Amino acid sequence: MRLGVGITYSAAIEPLLDRRPELFDVLEIEPQTTWMRTPGSPPRYIVKEEMVRHLLSLPGRKLIHSVGTPVGGSVKPELAQLNLLRTAIQRFDSPWASDHLSFNQTPEFATGFFLPPRQTEDGVETVVSSIRELRDRLCVPVAVETGVNYLRPRREEQRDGEFVRRVVEAADCGLLLDLHNVFTNALNGRQPLDEFLADLPLERVWEVHLAGGMELDGFWLDAHSGAIPDALYAITEQVIPMLPNLGAIIFEIFPSFVPVVGLDLVEEQVHRLHQLWALRQNLQAPLPSPPPIHVRSEDGSQLLPEAWERALGALVTGQPMPGCPEDLRQDPGIRIVSGLIFEFRASMVVGTLRLTSRLLILALGPEAFRTILLDYCRTIPPQSYGALEADAFARHLQSLNLQVPHLASILEFEQATLATITDDQTRVVKFESEPLPLLRALAEGRLPTEIGQAGEFEIELTSGGPPVAPGEDPDTSEPLFPFH
């Protein structure tokens, strides 16, 4: 099915969707980013119907790209999540669904990051089994996305391209070719891009992802941080005519970067994607057959997929892992991935507990706050959902018993806010002094300059948005109580 050009949905790009809806043939929805998961076990997921209806109202066909059921590991996705995913596919009428040829979960903990699968024969079997199971549950064709790998190539593993080919041919599935991912891998010393593409069965490519990146500590990062690099765009111009079954080209940008680069740049990139889409008119003959596939296992030190996932997951999250292969421990990619995971987790904390974070930064200083976060990340493994990360960090803060004025009440206020958003239950938070000076100051990024009046104060948090009376003309209505 030919869908056309689109973008990965986030709230940050909505003004552009409003302004230029005609630019978007398709919107890629990552459904888990719009779900909530409550703490505790068994997991309980919450999908807000208002959000589903809102997404349905946005321009373009909808394409479901899962970020919670990756197929690159041995840990199977939760049934509850698979059921929700299938419902999302049906509600959005997605012609196919995709997830990542990576893993983000060990039997013990989430990794907080997509990590590369074990690229061996055992790894192929593990991944193929996961893809088949996913396809059976979702009832639509499934495509798998080529992932990022910041590690050095390993002698005992298959080439990146041949591993992908083995997987998609054995599983008989589609391929989501993320060209910025493989561009990143090539720049960081893995398989050159042309060789990678020569390994792939290009007729299986249903979808292409493009994005921008950035350099950090000698690594090129798949940061989704802005414009598509010119070199990658030039390569893509050559690749598109080789993809006879291409159905969509999607631009990805991470929401945090949108305010930095601006929506005009995003719009410009979408225009460039339309130019790429037009190149499909000039289909070319497929590439020559790839070289024979073999597994290099000269040192015989093959880790089975599950052991690989445990070892890699533990190394990048700082969890104890006795007996971990020394060459893997020494891989420079471990350090960069550990740092990226910290930045993601810290961003989740400041994004969900904003007032608490600001109070800590203002009261203790940025370095002290960073130290608290580092201690937290070393102590508690990553949480897969922002709400869970907020809950875990809040409990960690409470255990520290920091003597920061107002911290307990601000933390309680924000925890109650998140809980009310999650379960729609009204909550009341008590304050021993007037909370308005404190809230207003923190919202403006400063400590309060005056002490709120002592007394009994409460904030009642309600679930609904502010109601608007039916038929009310918002432009003509006047305030009910004209004070002063």
Partner 1 sequence: MAEAVNVTLRGGAVRLTMSAKVASDLGALQKGLKSLAERLGHPSCATGCDILHLGMEREFTMGGQGSEASLNPQPLPPREHFAAGPRPEPWAPVTVAISDKVSRDINALTRVTASVLGKLGCGQCCSGFDIMFRRELDMFTVDDNLNVHGFGRLG
Tell which positions 271-330 bind partner 1, by CB under 8 A: none
Cβ contacts of residue 365 below 8 Å, gap of 6+? none
Q: Tell me whether residue 329 or residue 430 sits nearer to partner 1 (CB atom).
A: 430
What's the CA gap between 352 and 154, in Å, rounded?
A: 38
Phi and psi at residue 258, to the nearest 5°: -60, -45
Q: Tell me whether residue 151 or residue 242 sits nearer to partner 1 (CB atom).
A: 151
Residue 111 as a binder of partner 1 (CB under 8 A): the answer is no
User: Quick one: CA torsion of 360, 361, 363, 364, rounded to 10 degrees?
Assistant: 90
Min dist CB 432 to partner 1, Å, is 11
Count of chain residues binding partner 1 (CB under 8 A): 118
Q: Tell me whether residue 36 or residue 97 sits nearer to partner 1 (CB atom).
A: 36
Footprint on residues 242-271 left by partner 1 (CB under 8 A) = 252, 254-257, 260
Footprint on residues 49-78 left by partner 1 (CB under 8 A) = 50-51, 54, 65, 67-68
Question: 76 to each of 81, 104, 131, 249, how far by Cα in Å?
Answer: 11, 11, 10, 29
What's the CA gap between 205 and 193, in Å, rounded?
A: 16
SS3 449: coil
44-47 and 35-38 strand pairing: antiparallel
Footprint on residues 180-239 left by partner 1 (CB under 8 A) = 181, 184, 213-214, 216, 221-225
What's the CA gap between 167 and 130, in Å, rounded?
A: 11
Q: Which of 119, 352, 356, 415 binds partner 1 (CB under 8 A)?
A: 352
Give the torsion sign (CA, 150, 300, 170, 103): negative
Q: From residue 364 to residue 393, what is the string marking binding to partner 1 with x (rule CB under 8 A)? A: -xx--xx--x----------xxxx--x---
Q: Tell me whether residue 242 or residue 312 sits nearer to partner 1 (CB atom).
A: 312
What's the CA gap between 360 and 167, in Å, rounded?
A: 48
Residue 350 as a binder of partner 1 (CB under 8 A): the answer is yes
Residue 471 as a binder of partner 1 (CB under 8 A): the answer is no
Min dist CB 138 to partner 1, Å, is 17
Residue 105 as a binder of partner 1 (CB under 8 A): the answer is no
Residue 401 as a binder of partner 1 (CB under 8 A): the answer is no
Q: Which pair of structure tokens corresponds to residue 22?
A: 């005609």
What's the CA gap between 29 and 65, in Å, rounded?
A: 6
Q: Which of 138, 148, 205, 210 binds partner 1 (CB under 8 A)?
A: 148
Give bridge partners of residue 176 from the DSSP assignment: 145, 207
CB 115 within 8 A of CB 312: yes
Q: Tell me whether residue 198 or residue 369 sits nearer to partner 1 (CB atom).
A: 369
> Which range of residues in 124-132, 264-272, 322-330, 363-371 is near partner 1 by CB under 8 A?
363-371
Residue 470 as a binder of partner 1 (CB under 8 A): the answer is no
Min dist CB 290 to partner 1, Å, is 25
Cβ contacts of residue 480 below 8 Å, gap of 6+? none
Q: From residue 430 to residue 469, what is the string marking binding to partner 1 with x (rule CB under 8 A)? A: x---xxxx-xxx-xxxx-xxx-xx-xxxxxxxxxxxxxxx
Residue 140 as a binder of partner 1 (CB under 8 A): the answer is no
Min dist CB 423 to partner 1, Å, is 10
Q: DSSP letter for 187, please.
A: H
Q: Which pair of structure tokens corresponds to residue 48?
A: 């807000």
